[in-house]
Amino acid sequence: QQAQQGKTYQFKLVLLGESAVGKSSLVMRFVKDHFDEYRESTIGAAFLAQTISLDDNTTVKFEIWDTAGQERYKSLAPMYYRNANCAVVVYDITQTSSLDKAKAWVNELQRQADPNIVIALAGNKCDLEARRAVETKTAQEYADEAGLLFFETSAKTADNVSELFNAIAKRMPLDQ
């Protein structure tokens, strides 16, 4: 007989950020450990699930909603973050404007989403160090001020991707 003492906690996670910052690529890396240089853009939103074992008795299951960054889908975003437990707001370290966009998403989440939502800021494409436009310190200071988890990630090399989702899992309230 199998001992099944563990508990699984399920959370809804939404990805937000400008188009082409690498939201879908981060999800692909996390869920399938795969990177595709030429994948097509997300239309509307896509859904995937992935679990993380926190310890022998605790599993966190993320229901991941990857939203399209295109402006014409922006009005749909509230539908995805309204009952989200956590959010990953992504920018591209080579595009300063994408950090501004990320900050706008964080503001919107902090005003409109669940007040207990756990938000992580991800500075993606950190493999493109030669083209860096956003300094780590700048983003870290903003994240600290806004109360966000912060990681610089690369969906391409997998740098910090599991660390990002693990940190979110650890920050989630697990005793409800």
Site residues for ligand GDP per CB under 6 A = 17, 19-25, 37, 39, 41-42, 69, 124-125, 127-128, 154-156
Nearer to ligand GDP, 9 or 155 (CB): 155
List C-alpha distances in Å: 48 to 27, 28, 110, 128. Answer: 8, 9, 24, 27
Q: Positive or negative, the Cα torsion across 94, 17, 75, 39?
A: positive
CB of 34 to ligand GDP, least distance (A): 11
96 alpha-carbon distance from chain centroid:
18
The residue sitting closest to ligand GDP, measured at its beta carbon, is 22
Nearer to ligand GDP, 22 or 143 (CB): 22
Nearer to ligand GDP, 3 or 43 (CB): 43
Spatial contact of 110 and 118, defined as CB atoms under 8 Å apart: no
d(CA 91, CA 105): 11
Nearer to ligand GDP, 9 or 16 (CB): 16
Cα 99–47–166 angle (5° rounding)? 60
d(CA 48, CA 111): 26
CB of 157 to ligand GDP, least distance (A): 7
Task: Return the SS3 of 52.
Answer: strand
CB of 54 to ligand GDP, least distance (A): 25
CB of 70 to ligand GDP, least distance (A): 8
Task: Return the SS3 of 161.
Answer: helix
CB of 12 to ligand GDP, least distance (A): 18
Nearer to ligand GDP, 24 or 85 (CB): 24
